[in-house]
Amino acid sequence: MSSLHWEEFYAAHLPPADFEDNRQLLKEFCERHSKIHNKIVLVTSGGTTVPLEHNTVRFVDNFSAGTRGSSSAEYFLDQGYAVIFMHRQKSLEPFTRHFTGQQFFDMLDISGTDNDPGTQINVKPDSVDVLAPILLKYKVAQESQRILFINFTSVVDYMWLLRAACECLAPLEQRALLYLAAAVSDFYIPQDKMPTHKIQSGQGAPTISLQLVPKMLAPLVSLWVPHAFVVSFKLETDENLLIAKSRESLNKYKHKLVIANILQTRKYRVVFVTPTTSYEVHLTREQALSGLEIEEPIVADVSRKHDEYISAAQGQ
Amino acid sequence: MSSLHWEEFYAAHLPPADFEDNRQLLKEFCERHSKIHNKIVLVTSGGTTVPLEHNTVRFVDNFSAGTRGSSSAEYFLDQGYAVIFMHRQKSLEPFTRHFTGQQFFDMLDISGTDNDPGTQINVKPDSVDVLAPILLKYKVAQESQRILFINFTSVVDYMWLLRAACECLAPLEQRALLYLAAAVSDFYIPQDKMPTHKIQSGQGAPTISLQLVPKMLAPLVSLWVPHAFVVSFKLETDENLLIAKSRESLNKYKHKLVIANILQTRKYRVVFVTPTTSYEVHLTREQALSGLEIEEPIVADVSRKHDEYISAAQGQ
């Protein structure tokens, strides 16, 4: 089965309801940071959904908690980047990712009088040590307006926002970095094949026919941001396919770097695959136990490569 | 296509890795509250997933943020119940549901000296009014050990935990209430039809064949908790099917109450369908605007029905 051409995909699927608001936010963010000669990274994060019905009760989802993207966004801020954090709604976000469930509530002490029991709420002294460094970084990023949060749910939302972000990033040329960590569905259900109402189980188990999503990396690299430094990710569960499929992707799309990883070991080991080299970035057992995250060396390496790329372009 | 018998479903699918720990927690919780003659409600909440591969990258998901279940759990605590909150990982939870994204961080003020900038963290005075009543209720529930959080992801996890909870609730007889608000998949992919590795898009778009999940409400009502008050939910997108399908369910499974709702209006209106009656519970426009949640009257009504049921049994 062949996929639609990417232009046909956009023609066939309406943008999400809040698309114009997000486009305006992206435009202002990129213009502001371009003016002061900042580098901007677009970090995409989390999985996309493919609705199975128009009134969406069921959908196919790609697994991704958003760990890679949300932690990388923090390290890109440390490296001096302005960060567009484009993420799946409800996936992990930088800073807040460190706290889940009831952890926030459990850090809080409430004090007051019997008549007015809730006059003051403090973070418990032993939680301050954990929270303070993260909160301080968050406040610096917010006050310097160096992070923009944009969210998506379906693969169609993602595609519209990705193109809009590229249009806003294009004027930055080499100073734009695309770090495409989102787990984007390869498949979708065409609008005209989607039932209006919830599929009824009484009619027996349905068979779902999926269609291939066009590979947006092709127009992205060749047309939308031809001067940007583009990094894609390759997640496989089969080690034997990893390098070959990464090379195949670089040959096809002509971008700069694939960061390849195996589902089971992705928190400790990745492989950087460029058109001419491939090498491992990994954590030692000691580093992993001490709480170092692999995204710290990954982002340091990507950032260094990006700087070299900018310098090379300026030297031409 | 016919579904497996429920016993075959358990025989064919292993329990989740942390199953024994959760079973122990459920057992202790039920025994403790049974001893002091509390009523216990099992609230299930959020959607279940159906993995498409053994090494799960893709899965089919049922839409449910967990709004109904997480807010109802708070109102059941208000009504004096001990609450087992069995929810989809990362779906909304009681108390924390009121705050999303960066809202927690934005409520906090950090203060200190230049040398030590993070010595104290307080909730801003204007946020204390919002946070204090919620935090106080949370602390009361935790300190009185009246809430137990159990989480699931896949439909198989859910099925194992549901049966374990029922085994622990059965001795409470009429004092057990089951409020089954989770959006459980009707379909799954049998283990032997599931590929080991990620489906490769190069092989063209796949066709996914799903099988019906056995209806666990049947053994639940007739065998697992025959004396409990069981409430199920019916979510439809087509108004015309709503009452008919609810009646059909009551006739088939012989439980006490179906709470029926339409996807688009579920936050303002539900229909209570019993074997002999059906009536609407809804919010007026003024109530909705004032911030009243429909789960408050829903839980009040369910709780009243449950008390009548207990009294009737004692009077026999």
Length of chain A in residues, anyone?
316
CB contact under 8 A, B63 and A56: yes
Residue A200 to chain B, least CA–CA distance (Å): 9
Residue B69 to chain A, least CA–CA distance (Å): 15
Residue B289 to chain A, least CA–CA distance (Å): 23
With 0-12 / 13-18 / 19 or more C-beta atoms within 10 angstroms meaning exposed / middle / buried, residue B56 is middle
pTM recorded for the entire structure: 0.87
Of B199, B185, B197, B194, give the one whose Cα is nearest residue B156.
B185
Cβ atoms of B95 and B138 closer than 8 Å: yes
For residue A284, what is the DSSP state? -
- Of B90, B96, B123, which has the smallest distance from its Cβ to A102's Cβ? B96
Answer CATH for B6-94+135-315 from 3.75.10.10, 3.90.550.10, 3.40.50.720, 3.40.50.10300: 3.40.50.10300
Cβ atoms of A174 and A307 closer than 8 Å: no
What is residue B4's predicted lDDT score, i.e. its pLDDT?
A: 74
pLDDT at B225 over 80: yes
How many cross-chain Cβ pairs, A to B, lie less than 8 Å apart? 191
Please tell me which residue of chain A has the smallest CA distance to B130. Answer: A118
DSSP string across A30-88: HHHHHHTT--EEEEEESB-EEESSSS-SEEEEE---SHHHHHHHHHHHHTT-EEEEEEE
- Of B60, B104, B238, which has the smallest distance from its Cβ to A58's Cβ? B60
Length of chain B in residues, anyone?
316
Angle at the Cα of B144 from the Cα atoms of B33 and B108, rounded to 5 degrees: 145
The span from the CA of B11 to the CA of B254, in Å, is 26
CB contact under 8 A, B210 and A209: no
Strands B82-88 and B147-152, by their bridges, are: parallel
The span from the CA of B72 to the CA of B281, in Å, is 14
For residue A183, what is the DSSP state? B
CB contact under 8 A, B55 and A207: no
Of B306, B252, B293, B297, give the one whose Cα is nearest residue B279.
B297
What is residue A68's predicted lDDT score, i.e. its pLDDT?
A: 96
3-state secondary structure of A117: coil
Please tell me which residue of chain A has the smallest CA distance to B99. Answer: A104
CB contact under 8 A, B201 and A186: yes
- Of B105, B136, B149, which has the smallest distance from its Cβ to A117's Cβ? B136
Q: Which residues contact A224 (CB under 8 A, 6 or more apart)?
A: A163, A166, A167, A170
Distances in whole angstroms, Cα of residue B142 to Cα of each of A164, B77, B145:
46, 11, 5
3-state secondary structure of A219: helix
| Chain Cα centroid distance, residue A41 | 11
Please tell me which residue of chain B has the smallest CA distance to A135. Answer: B105
CB contact under 8 A, A235 and B57: yes
The span from the CA of A259 to the CA of A252, in Å, is 16
The amino acid at residue A62 is: N
The amino acid at residue B101 is: G
CB contact under 8 A, B198 and A235: yes
Please state the ipTM of this predicted complex: 0.83
Residue A86 to chain B, least CA–CA distance (Å): 13
pLDDT at B262 over 90: no
What is residue B1's predicted lDDT score, i.e. its pLDDT?
A: 43
3-state secondary structure of A242: helix
What is residue A195's predicted lDDT score, i.e. its pLDDT?
A: 65
Chain A residues in contact with B90 by the CB 8 A cut-off are: 65, 90
HEC assignment per residue over chain B: CCCCCHHHHHHHCCCCCCHHHHHHHHHHHHHHHHHCCCCEEEEEECECEEECCCCCCEEEEECCCCHHHHHHHHHHHHCCCEEEEEEECCCCCCCHHHCCCCHHHHCEEEECCCCCCCCEEEECHHHHHHHHHHHHHHHHHHHCCCEEEEEECEHHHHHHHHHHHHHHHHHHHHHEEEEECCECCCEECCHHHCCCCCCCHHHCCCEEECEECCCCHHHHHHHHCCCCEEEEEEEECCHHHHHHHHHHHHHHHCCCEEEEEEHHHCCCEEEEECCCCEEEEECCHHHHHCCCCCHHHHHHHHHHHHHHHHHHHHHC
Residue B44 to chain A, least CA–CA distance (Å): 17
CB contact under 8 A, A132 and B110: yes
Cβ atoms of B158 and B77 closer than 8 Å: no
Share of chain A above pLDDT 90, in %: 69
The span from the CA of A88 to the CA of A75, in Å, is 19
Beta-bridge mates of residue A178: A42, A230
R_g over Cα of chain B? 21
Q: Where are the domains of chain B?
A: 6-94+135-315
The count of other CB atoms within 10 Å of the CB of residue B260 is 27
CB contact under 8 A, A123 and B121: yes
Task: Give the H/E segment covering residue A25.
Answer: helix A19-35
What is residue B194's predicted lDDT score, i.e. its pLDDT?
A: 66
The span from the CA of A193 to the CA of A114, in Å, is 62
Task: Give the H/E segment covering residue A297.
Answer: helix A295-315
Residue A91 to chain B, least CA–CA distance (Å): 9
Average pLDDT over chain B reads: 90
CB contact under 8 A, A59 and B61: yes
Residues of chain A with pLDDT under 70: 1-3, 54-57, 113-118, 191-209, 316
Task: Give the H/E segment covering residue A108.
Answer: strand A108-111
Residue B170 confidence class, pLDDT cut points 50, 70, 90: very high
The amino acid at residue A281 is: V
Distances in whole angstroms, Cα of residue B69 to Cα of each of A7, B83, B188:
42, 11, 23
CB contact under 8 A, A63 and B60: no
Over residues B83-135, the pLDDT tens digits come to 999 999 989 999 999 998 888 999 999 987 666 655 799 999 999 999 999 99
What is residue B237's predicted lDDT score, i.e. its pLDDT?
A: 79
3-state secondary structure of A200: coil
Q: What are phi and psi of A207, to 5 degrees?
A: -110, 130
CB contact under 8 A, A186 and B209: no
CB contact under 8 A, A61 and B63: no
Answer CATH for A6-315 from 3.10.129.10, 3.30.70.260, 3.40.50.150, 3.40.50.10300: 3.40.50.10300
Residue A193 to chain B, least CA–CA distance (Å): 14
3-state secondary structure of A107: coil
Beta-bridge mates of residue B152: B88
The amino acid at residue B62 is: N
